[in-house]
């Protein structure tokens, strides 16, 4: 009887969940069809609320956003890079749009809102200004990435109680070596490359000198790439701007105006009044507004704006850690990505492929699976690789099979090196009173066991894997980039470089963003002036979104923790699933403002 009641109640509960899900599904569908078509009015201001995560890949679903907001689950709003850039380009030619209004602060998540992506948006805003239409920005407490974009505006207004944070770039790296030792977790490593410091967070309590050197030089390159365009937009000589940031760093609203970083101090309503005057009106309520998301939908999105010819150009997004197998929603699964490339290779209608990389790398096995498909595709049609904010190690590995490689000056790339990490829980097991016994037929039968440390002979085997793969990595770069092998060995060692340095070293072909890469691919594929652009992976269906929606979701506290560096390091450790425990991954997680 008890069992009967238990199963009955469980069935009723499941039915309630199903009915609830169905209700939200019906409401969502009806709300979509019930809306009047969005129409942009004449003399509108295009409002860009920067309180979003700017991802390289386009958002997977507006419907998913609606459902999650309706159920109070919370979601970071996301805009795809290309849809934002294309919307700004469309607004420049659209007689209905009279200006652009920027406000808010970015919400970086995973590998989104990186500086290479922001550079592309910044350049799009500059082209918008060339038409004579103004860009106005209102900032409350902008961090570097917010000010970097907003400084391009014709008029920058800072809230009276706002602070402009422009004190330079810093990377705080987390070291868990001592903590893991206290927990009884042992870490043994093998690596090739003095600068391949990706193992340091798990083995040390501080930075090596090589790691400190490469981090400092990379930050200086990135910082110089921020100061130069900011100084040009604000009319501040570069040396003076550097002196200001070195001596002040954090500016009150009044100080920002005094030093030329902003044009005036003002509340939000005062900026609205300014916008009204710009549009020849007395009251901002009379100014038609077009929010960016609605405008993107109204113009049809980037994939539908790049021509409608018979030829197809495919853009494939590779964003996140590279992992073996299919991977999860926020990872690049080697098998899943390779299948996508294989289908495009076999599709005779696809004339060219652009691979957009925004990844620090990861599993060597998965990177090689992807590279193989990139190389095979190149035999049939042009393959152009476009680097986003991060394209390092395994993210660079796959680019060695491309016809051309584009990077932004502030792309983080290179990191040609390999490492292996083998943890064991012997000490933890002893502390918990857990014992392990193994029976085996051969000395190396349990080589990858986590229950004990590895012997010297076993570590020699793993070190051999690492050195062999490192040699292969150098060979692939030398062959793919047509460089002398000794020269590649000199610039490798796991060291990271900025995109500008990578161009000088011959690691990339051109400086440019995804738009330039797409244009180059269309030209190389001889697609002419009319072709259709498709983006992959394709948007998820309703069933996939509902499955994700009702999967186990982390509590609010866990969501907050996911933004902390220590969580990211543990997340990195979780993603290490290469079958040979060898990885081509960036030497550190770079946490930038």
**pLDDT, mean of residues 404-421:** 94
Confidence of residue 583 (pLDDT cuts 50, 70, 90): low
More confident: 585 or 379: 379
The whole-angstrom separation of Cα 381 and Cα 525 is 7
Per-residue pLDDT, 75: 58
Q: Which of 3-12, 81-90, 340-349, 494-503 is the least confident region?
A: 3-12
pLDDT by residue (tens digit) across 322-348? 999 888 777 899 999 999 999 999 999
Q: With CA atoms as reference, report the closest residue to 24 among 72, 67, 64, 75.
A: 67
Per-residue pLDDT, 247: 93
Confidence of residue 9 (pLDDT cuts 50, 70, 90): very low
Catalytic residue of the set 196, 312, 381, 454: 196
Supply the mean pLDDT for the chain. Answer: 84
Q: With CA atoms as reference, report the closest residue to 366 among 587, 567, 585.
A: 585
Q: What percent of the chain has pLDDT over 90?
A: 59
pLDDT by residue (tens digit) across 42-64? 889 999 999 999 999 888 654 44
- Tell me the residue ranges of DSSP E strands in 6-125: 44-49, 53-55, 78-80, 97-103
Per-residue pLDDT, 15: 47
Per-residue pLDDT, 111: 84
575 included as an active-site residue: no
pLDDT > 50? residue 494: yes
pLDDT > 70? residue 536: yes
3-state secondary structure labels for all residues of 182-208: HHCCEEEEEEECCCCCCCHHHHCCCCC
Beta-bridged to residue 188, according to DSSP, are 422
pTM above 0.75, yes or no: yes
Per-residue pLDDT, 533: 92
Per-residue pLDDT, 514: 95
Sheet with 135-139, side-by-side order of all strands = 264-265, 155-158, 135-139, 97-103, 44-49, 289-291
More confident: 134 or 36: 134
Per-residue pLDDT, 568: 58
Catalytic residue of the set 44, 113, 359, 393: 393
Residue with tokens 């919400």: 107
Confidence of residue 416 (pLDDT cuts 50, 70, 90): very high
pLDDT > 50? residue 486: yes
Per-residue pLDDT, 580: 55
Per-residue pLDDT, 8: 47
Q: Domains of the chain, with CATH numbers?
A: 44-167+248-299 (3.90.226.10), 306-418+443-585 (3.90.226.10)
**pLDDT, mean of residues 130-153:** 96
CB 422 within 8 A of CB 464: no
pLDDT by residue (tens digit) across 147-161? 999 999 999 999 999
Tokens for 553?
A: 């979701």
Q: What percent of the chain has pLDDT over 70?
A: 80
Q: Which of 402-406, 410-414, 427-431, 523-527 is the least confident region?
A: 427-431
More confident: 588 or 523: 523
Per-residue pLDDT, 32: 45
In angstroms, the Cα distances linking 333 to 208, 317, 475, 499, 587 are: 31, 12, 24, 25, 20
More confident: 286 or 379: 379
**pLDDT, mean of residues 295-321:** 78
pLDDT > 70? residue 33: no
393 included as an active-site residue: yes
Highest mean pLDDT among 293-302, 513-522, 584-593: 513-522
CA atoms within 13 A on the CB side of 278: 25
Highest mean pLDDT among 12-26, 415-429, 482-496: 482-496
Residue 414: helix, strand or coil by DSSP? strand
């Amino acid at each position: 009887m008890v069992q009967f009641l238990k199963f009955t109640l469980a069935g009723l509960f499941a039915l309630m969940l199903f009915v609830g899900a169905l209700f939200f599904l019906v409401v969502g569908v009806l709300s979509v069809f019930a809306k009047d078509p969005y129409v942009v009015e004449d003399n509108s201001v295009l409002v860009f609320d920067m309180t979003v995560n700017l991802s390289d890949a386009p958002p997977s679903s507006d419907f998913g956003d609606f459902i999650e907001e309706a159920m109070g689950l919370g979601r970071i709003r996301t805009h795809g890079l290309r849809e934002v850039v294309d919307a700004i380009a469309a607004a420049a030619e659209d007689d209905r749009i009279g200006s652009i209004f920027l406000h808010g602060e970015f919400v970086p998540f995973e590998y989104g809102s990186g500086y290479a992506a922001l550079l592309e948006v910044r350049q799009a805003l500059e082209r918008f200004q060339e038409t004579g239409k103004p860009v106005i920005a209102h900032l409350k407490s902008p961090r570097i990435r917010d000010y970097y974009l907003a400084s391009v505006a014709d008029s920058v207004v800072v809230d009276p109680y706002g602070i402009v944070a422009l004190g330079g770039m810093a990377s705080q790296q987390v070291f868990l070596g001592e903590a893991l030792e206290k927990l009884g977790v042992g870490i043994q490593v093998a690596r090739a490359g003095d600068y391949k410091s990706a193992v340091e967070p798990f083995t040390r309590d501080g930075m090596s000198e090589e790691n400190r050197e490469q981090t400092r030089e990379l930050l200086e390159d990135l910082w110089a790439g921020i100061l130069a365009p900011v100084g040009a937009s604000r009319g501040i000589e570069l040396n003076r701007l550097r002196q200001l940031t070195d001596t002040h760093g954090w500016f009150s609203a009044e100080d920002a105006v005094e030093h030329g970083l902003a044009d005036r101090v003002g509340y939000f309503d005062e900026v609205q009044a300014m916008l009204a005057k710009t549009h020849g009106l007395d009251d901002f309520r009379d100014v038609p507004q077009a929010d960016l998301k609605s405008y993107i939908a109204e113009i049809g999105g980037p994939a539908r704006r790049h021509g409608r010819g018979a030829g197809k150009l495919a853009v494939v997004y590779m964003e996140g850690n590279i992992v073996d197998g299919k991977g999860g929603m926020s990872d690049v699964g080697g098998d899943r990505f390779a299948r996508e490339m294989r289908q495009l290779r076999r599709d005779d209608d696809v004339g060219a492929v652009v691979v957009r990389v925004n990844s620090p790398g990861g599993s060597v096995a998965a990177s090689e699976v992807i590279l193989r498909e990139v190389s095979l595709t190149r035999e049939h049609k042009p393959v152009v690789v476009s680097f986003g904010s991060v394209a390092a190690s395994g993210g660079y590995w796959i680019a060695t099979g491309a016809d051309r490689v584009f990077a932004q000056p502030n792309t983080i790339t290179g990191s040609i090196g390999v490492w292996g990490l083998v943890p064991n829980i012997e000490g933890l097991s002893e502390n918990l009173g857990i014992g392990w016994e193994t029976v085996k037929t051969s000395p190396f039968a349990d080589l990858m066991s986590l229950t004990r440390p590895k012997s010297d002979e076993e570590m020699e085997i793993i070190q051999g894997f690492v050195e062999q793969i490192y040699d292969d990595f150098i060979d692939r770069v030398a062959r793919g980039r047509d460089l002398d092998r000794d020269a590649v060995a000199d610039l490798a060692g796991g060291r990271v470089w900025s995109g500008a340095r990578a161009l000088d070293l011959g690691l990339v072909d051109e400086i440019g963003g995804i738009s330039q890469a797409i244009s180059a691919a269309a030209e190389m594929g001889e697609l002419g002036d009319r072709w259709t652009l498709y983006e992959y992976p394709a948007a998820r269906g309703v069933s996939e979104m509902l499955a994700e929606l009702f999967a186990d979701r982390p509590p609010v506290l866990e969501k907050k923790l996911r933004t902390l560096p220590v969580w990211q390091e543990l997340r990195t450790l979780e993603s290490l699933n290469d079958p040979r425990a060898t990885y081509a991954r960036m030497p550190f997680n770079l946490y930038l403002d």
